[in-house]
Chain A
Amino acid sequence: MSADLETFYEVIRRQGITRRSFTKFCSLTAASLGLGAGAATEMAQALETKPRVPVIWMHGLECTCCSESFIRSAHPLVKDVILSMISLDYDDTIMAAAGHQAEAILQETREKYKGKYILAVEGNPPLNEGGMFCIDGGRPFVEKLKEMAEDAFAVIAWGACASWGCVQAAKPNPTQATPIDKVIKNKPIIKVPGCPPIAEVMTGVVTYVTTFGKLPELDRQGRPKMFYSQRIHDKCYRRPHFDAGQFVEEWDDEGAKKGHCLYKMGCKGPTTYNACSTVRWNGGVSFPIQSGHGCIGCSEEGFWDKGSFYDRLTGINVFGIEANADKVGATVAGVVAAGVAAHAAVTAVKRIVKKPENVG
């Protein structure tokens, strides 16, 4: 980053925030990211020497649920993210400017902050009809996306749309909606899947990049390990009921009222990698299973095309689990875990995902 950009620390000091509050902020952020005490010091140093990073947030084919989720962030508050942590110079959902005035910002950012801005992408480009199923400024969105990616420092793929394709890419994908890593080949891409992703996971990823100046450690599919390395099922508070063979058999039955396991109602928790059962949603209030509905697996690739949300997991059937799950037992849980792990490994091998290099 060049010296003419103001650092985050300078910005908040100018805004009347004390050194003490600043240190406290670093500790809290480090803690919320699940990092140790040393990280708080590292973060403080980073914030003192790095400027507010320009962020360009573009929208392709999507439903805006990712933006809506982002503004739900409880820690940090989104107003603090926007006013003090990043410089959200372009986001068609909230920006004051429109038309030419909006378009001008894209060009200016490319020139002024070449190689220094983060490109955050919500939604994806459709490739059919010359890209004109998504028109932006009279041109195909895909062209603008590639232009802006060209000079970005790193790219964030928000949600299931940008990461995997999501609902518009479900069969038969009539617009040929395409995940962004299929059209952006030469930049590191952080995938933050989910429909939408959890708010604090989104701000956690952004602040990680802006404070440490590097990408978080990613798994083979390009997802930050810190939030996506465990299954919902691994940390589900209803897991003991699964292990004890206590299941909801039909909606609103005794089991449902007692908070039993939703596996038989089609819950995809055992095959879904996300932070819902740990971070939870909307400031930690609840998550789908806690409110009585099974996980629909919305952070997994192609989750729309894996059968009904109410079908019991078929991936586990192969390992002979379904019959046993009705019976009970910790043994069963072990087999499920092994089965699912094997399934996941096979899936992972099928994908050729290059682990992005750390930059910055």
Chain B
Amino acid sequence: MGIQTPNGFNLDNSGKRIVVDPVTRIEGHMRVEVNVDKDNVIRNAVSTGTMWRGIEVILKGRDPRDAWAFTERICGVCTGTHALTSVRAVENALDIKIPENANTIRNIMQLTLQVHDHVVHFYHLHALDWVDVVSALSADPKATSALAQSISSWPLSSPGYFKDLQTRLKKFVESGQLGPFKNGYWGHPAYKLPPEANLMAVAHYLEALDFQKDMVKIHTIYGGKNPHPNWLVGGVPCSINVDGVGAVGAINMERLNLVSSIIDRMVEFTEQVYLPDLQAIASFYKDWLYGGGLSSKSVMSYGDIPEHANDYTAASLKMPRGVILNGNLAEVLPIDLADPNQVQEFVTHSWYKYPDETKGLHPWDGVTEPNYVLGPKAKGTKTNIEALDEEAKYSWIKSPRWKGNAVEVGPLARYIIGYAQKKPEFKEPVDKLLTDLGVPVTALFSTLGRTAARALECQWAARQLRYFQDKLMASIKAGDTATANVDKWKPETWPKEVKGVGFTEAPRGALGHWIKIKDGKIDNYQAVVPTTWNGSPRDPKGGIGAFEASLLDTPMADPNQPLEIIRTLHSFDPCLACSTHVISEDGQEMAKVTVR
């Protein structure tokens, strides 16, 4: 029985039901169920967040200056972005102005995360959806070398290099202990790359694994460690001292040089490895343009990377800001995160309880009371779910909506908005890629488009890193070494009751934290995160979120081997620990499981 959703998708759950649980190569825990018709085309999709931790209630009553450390632990993959959002929320509430250098260093931290996260996502979480590792064994190393050298000047490209790698891989496979490659979908008809492209991609999988550990040293220098570097309300904790006694214990010339050399390598890697790989892979998949979902209709970006300290207006933000609704690229709508009628969260299909579930709540007034129940059509039991009932509650993720609309967030959303705003640094690389591949602009609205936008953004972020590191050097040269403002460090200097909001663009999309501070302590804290937007269950009107929308109408070669499903889900880079952090207000004890 087919129905049409208010946001324009057709759902039909009459066909065979397929369950994928766990969805792997993501952060956290997720389940997806789909119905396929007699031709194995997906006609209904149900996405479920299957974990719930509850950082926000834990934050209640604590020191707002500590909140960054708690919220940073929402996610260790996009490490730092929650912390940055948190210090911005606290600074917004208390009207704290940070020094220019602190803004620059924070941008460098955030951009480092963007580059690192995008590279690790592409090679280690997503590549195996496009790359057949086993096929690489039959590649000709000479032809692989020729392919690699035809698309890039990256030096690791000799026939001998690929032959050595292939030998190592062959012996690994022959050992019978396949490790993380065990039970993969090797030989699946949805894999389209020739053996040589597969071998090249496997080589870069391993090179990226080596290099990613070096990229994060920028976090280590400015934040002391990675994952989970340190942050500070009012600035950054690292002091700058390039001269005289004690400089060796601070950000000095050696530290700055180390950052700079890593940035050079990041620019090089994104331009000579990541982008050419993306383009090569895309050229074999340009006929597989499924998975667009919501992207051609409604997308949103809060924007990020402020050029000027303390200026979070669209004009100062280097990443695009705004909302596009119903595919109207001619109009980019402005966002006000403090407006109670814009961002709202619904729980009609989430395992939470509201007094009135037809209405949404703005995060400042957010309520989160768990209510784990399965619908009447669910199969199995409460502790052994066989199939969910999407007409009832079915996820630990809430449904955030912007003025009632489901929107997609993430790199593709940012690039569509930048493109619509005709910003050259976003529009030109997109046009060039489309031309090179020989595909129309509508090809952008796809799984592949999402994956391509992330690669383009990675290059953009690497170049911005260079810009901001140079800006920091210029500032130090001009005699400014300030990194923190301590005027309002002490809680005695704070007003009795205030509220604030902070935002960033996390690698996965728009991220907002809303805080209320009372008597120097956190009174309420709510985070609405990218995967909550993308992975949300249905809203009271039946509008579906980005994950569910993206799976519709995709044909599966073999329903027992869900390669197409995970390929499209991975293109969002799901982060489930982020999306399901929300928490019970009173933290009451629920039924306990017996510890045997």
Contact = CB atoms under 8 A, between A and B. Distances in A.
Contacts of B66: 308-310
Main SS of the interface on chain B? Answer: loop
Given A68-B77, A290-B224, 6 more contacts: A69-B227, A79-B209, A92-B26, A94-B25, A130-B591, A286-B224
Contact of B25 (A82, A98, A166, A309): A98
Indicate the size class of the contact surface on chain B: 35 or more
Interface in B236-288: 236-241, 245-250, 258
A257 B228 contact: no
Nearest to A285: B220
A348 interface: no
A52 B176 CA distance: 11
B234 A77 contact: no
B475 interface: no
Nearest to B27: A64
A99 B167 contact: no
A64 B587 contact: no
Contacts of A173: 58, 587
Contacts of A63: 27, 73-77, 577
A281 B226 contact: yes
Interface centre among B212, B237, B577 (most CB of A within 10 A): B237
Given A250-B489, A251-B237, A77 B593 contact: no
A221 B241 CA distance: 41
A168 B55 CA distance: 6
A52 B172 CA distance: 11
Interface in A281-295: 281-283, 285-293
B112 to A, nearest CB: 12
A167 interface: yes
Nearest to B58: A170
Nearest to B116: A68
A132 B22 contact: no
Contact of B241 (A16, A83, A258): A258
B53 A288 contact: no
Given A52-B175, A63-B75, A291-B238, A172 B58 contact: yes
B70 interface: yes
Contact of A129 (B171, B182, B228, B591): B591
A198 to B, nearest CB: 8
Contacts of A59: 28-29
A134 B50 CA distance: 6
B595 A252 contact: no
Contacts of A323: none
Contacts of A195: 73, 228
B389 interface: no
B382 A292 contact: no
Contacts of B77: 63-65, 68
Contact of B226 (A130, A133, A258, A282): A282
Which of A54, A93, A133, A170 is most buried by chain B, counting CB atoms within 10 A of its CB?
A133
Contacts of A92: 22, 24-26
B258 A285 contact: yes
